[in-house]
Amino acid sequence: MIGAVILAGGQSRRSGRIHKACRLLPGERRSWLDRQIDALRAAGIIRIVLVLGYRPRRVLTCLHRNVSVVSNPNPERGAFAALQSGLASGRGDRLIVPLDTPLPNAMRLRQLIKALHGVDAALPTDRRGRGSHPVALTDGYAQGLRAIAPTGPDARLDRQLHALSPQHCRRLRLYASSQRHNLNTPRAWRAYLNRRRGL
């Protein structure tokens, strides 16, 4: 069974006063972080690892679900070091989920996981064919990512995925690109809320 790694180790400087993990959607009492975990569980993912780095206590105040928590010992090295910390927490195929990425519904998440069969990685694309998150990785490919120097020029997941041949990386159009914006800034968050309200 596939597991998931939620990357929540950034400083969240651009998100304003409220940490992005703690934001609420209209009409909901659960935090954005809890919502992400619920979406993964609805897709049948039981093993979930939350990777923390900067400001871990702020993120943990928003966590009301039972998941494994690991810390990135070198958060200043960036997102790839956080990814490697999450991958080091166990073995098995993984779904990589940045905290600020809205997840597709459970059926489409399961479709992405199923697409991992026979390839090293599977990811959704937008209408222009560009890859996005969440990304499904096989255990063998994940272990290879752990061996990359986190300070090297290729220490980026997007570069590693781009280097994969089409025979080793499956790209799927799972949901509209308008739903896939990163929610790092207050402006991006407001735009996402307005789309959900139908404004």
pLDDT per position as a tens digit, 59-71: 898 899 999 999 9
Domain boundaries of the chain, sorted by first residue: 3-197
Please state the pTM of the whole predicted model. Answer: 0.85
3-state per-residue secondary structure call for the chain: CCEEEEEECCCCCCCCCCCHHHCECCCCCCEHHHHHHHHHHHCCCCCEEEEECCCHHHHHCCCCCCCEEEECCCHHHCHHHHHHHHHCCCCCCEEEEECCCCCCCHHHHHHHHHCCCCCCEEEEECCCCCECCCEEECHHHHHHHHCCCCCCCCCCHHHHHHCCCCCCEEEECCCCHHHCCCCCCHHHHHHHHHHHHCC
pLDDT per position as a tens digit, 125-181: 876 667 788 999 999 999 999 999 988 888 999 999 999 999 999 999 875 433 445
Q: What is the CA radius of gyration of the chain?
A: 16
3-197 fold: Spore Coat Polysaccharide Biosynthesis Protein SpsA; Chain A (3.90.550)
The length of the chain, given as a count of residues: 199
Give the mean pLDDT of the chain. 85
